[in-house]
Amino acid sequence: MRFASIASGSSGNCIYAGTDRTHILVDAGISNRRIELGLKELGLKAEEVDGICLTHEHSDHIAGLSMYLKKHPVPVYATEGTLKQIRKALSVPYAEEFLIPIEADRPFSVGDMEVTPFAISHDAAEPVAYRISGGESQVAVATDLGTYTPYVVQHLQNLNAILLESNHDIHMLETGPYPYYLKQRILGDRGHLCNENAGRLLSEILNDRMTHVLLGHISKENNYPELAWEAVRLEVNLAPNEYRASDFDIQVASRTEMSEIFYV
């Protein structure tokens, strides 16, 4: 199974997971051109994608969807709450036939891959994160988490790889230029994970099968990749478990460039 970030950040998100036979995108929040270029780096054409799984309806997760569907019709999987918002945003008149409703905690199949959506806390209609299985390999995309609970931790157990949100540094956010209401939104339980909480969540899901960790959805204004990387590693090293950050390949996903392609 292959796993890579085509782009991840507060300005746009698109993640790839696939086997030899099946290819899935999680979100389409960047331009169709950038999606096609990312797929080309994976040795794929856009028409080879078997499905797009949407986490929620915010623009940084669906901005490229209309154009992608116009050029490359493909099933789009999302919760009913998300779909209601998507229908308002899509400009493709025939897109309805490609919109497939899903439910949290009800796995569905795309080709030879099984996808399990699970509910997350974020200020969207009905947001989910995804656990994706291909054979014995298990990966997850978990961003836009205002907070995490034992339920979320349970869904992220025994993974081989994960793209995990590490959105902001609290001090940078609190002292930065954002208006007060936006700072409160981001810091709230329906906002985004700070670096420290990302590290704490990661510490609860590390296991002997885990090989790759991508820190994603980094804020352009309220974080630095190096800061996120250092803060998460520190939390892992301070956690009361047997693991250390050096035991794992921890990288930061770029907002503008494709990540390394991980084989799990």
Domains of the chain, first to last: 2-263 (3.60.15.10)
What count of other Cβ atoms lies within 10 Å of the Cβ of residue 189? 12
Q: Which two tokens stand for residue 18?
A: 């696939």
Cα 174-176-181 angle, rounded to 5 deg:
65
pLDDT band at 17 (very low <50, low <70, confident <90, very high): very high
Average pLDDT over residues 178-189: 96
Compute the distance between CA of residue 132 and CA of residue 138 in angstroms, rounded to an integer: 6
User: For 112, which DSSP code?
Assistant: T
Per-chain mean pLDDT for the chain = 96
pLDDT for 190-221, tens place per residue? Answer: 999 999 999 999 999 999 999 999 999 999 99
pLDDT for 53-78, tens place per residue? Answer: 999 999 999 999 999 998 999 999 99
What local confidence, expressed as pLDDT, does residue 87 receive?
87
Q: How far apart are the first and last CA of the chain?
A: 5
**Is residue 97 predicted with pLDDT exceeding 90?**
no
pLDDT band at 88 (very low <50, low <70, confident <90, very high): confident
Average pLDDT over residues 144-166: 97
pTM score, two decimals?
0.96
Among candidates 156, 173, 235, which has minimal Cα distance to 10?
173
Q: Which two tokens stand for residue 242?
A: 């047997």
What local confidence, expressed as pLDDT, does residue 93 receive?
65
HSE-CB at 219 with a 13 A cutoff on CA atoms is: 24
Compute the distance between CA of residue 193 and CA of residue 189 in angstroms, rounded to an integer: 9
